[in-house]
Structure 1
């Protein structure tokens, strides 16, 4: 049985590190803004084991108009739990949370390999493929939402 809980930024590292920063030092798992009071971290547990994480930042991207923007970052599911619905549940949880905060736009930089996952949830690519140094090719993606 899975459950989604609020977690600390430090708790995200145990999933961020092997999935998003494999072979890099644990310090590379810390993101700017992780510990701001407006940042939320969510973990999805399967039988009490943390198998996925995501962080939600109240952050404006000047490419988009509008004040109530939120960035999703650090979305990661342990490899042995991928393609089992955990990512979709975690993404949906973020959307419900962002709506509750009167958010109107969700944006993020998606790894090229994850674009189809997000497109299934109606996120759209914006602009061309770009590279993040030491991490790889990404697309900016977004989804406009109606607040609650």
Structure 2
């Protein structure tokens, strides 16, 4: 398995399969995907992209840190889940943020994914909330 930087459009097949199944492919484009301050990573099994994660330089006013990044579109194809690959993607993103002098990584985690992120030392912030057409989430974060 290898992780490398990819174009935002290359995230769509994995995002669609895992995060937007049954919805139009257009729903796989997230605000900021095409920004110069956004970086997309793909996890490859041979030549096949089996996991993706996107890092946006994005400030959440809940936090006081100056250098904040947001994780979005984190997904691993179902047949590759539960093999530590998601953890590899998150660790890669964390290393990238440390190299850019980032102070905090935050994201909205689906309720089912909360235990995964808690194992990686992320903290839930506040109560759960609903994202329309997606479902309940928790704000989670980790400082560096």
Q: TM-score, with normalisation over the residues of structure 2?
A: 0.99
* Aligned twin of 2:114: 115
Give the CA deviation at 1:66.
Answer: 1.6
* Aligned twin of 2:18: 19
* Aligned twin of 1:71: 70
Give the Cα–Cα distance (whole angstroms) in 2 for the partners of residues 22 and 79 of structure 1.
12
Give the Cα–Cα distance (whole angstroms) in 2 for the partners of residues 111 and 47 of structure 1.
29
Give the CA deviation at 1:143.
Answer: 0.2
Give the CA deviation at 1:56.
Answer: 0.1
Q: Residues 25-58 of structure 1: CA distance to partner in whole angstroms, max 9, x if unpaired? A: 0000000000001100000011221100000000
Return 5+ residue gaps in structure 1 as ranges.
Answer: none
3-state SS in 2 of match to 1:45: strand
Q: TM-score, with normalisation over the residues of structure 1?
A: 0.96
Return 5+ residue gaps in structure 2 as ranges.
Answer: none
Give the Cα–Cα distance (whole angstroms) in 1 for the partners of residues 78 and 131 of structure 2.
22
Map 1:76-95 to 2 at 5 A. Answer: 76-95=75-94
Give the Cα–Cα distance (whole angstroms) in 2 for the partners of residues 64 and 116 of structure 1.
22
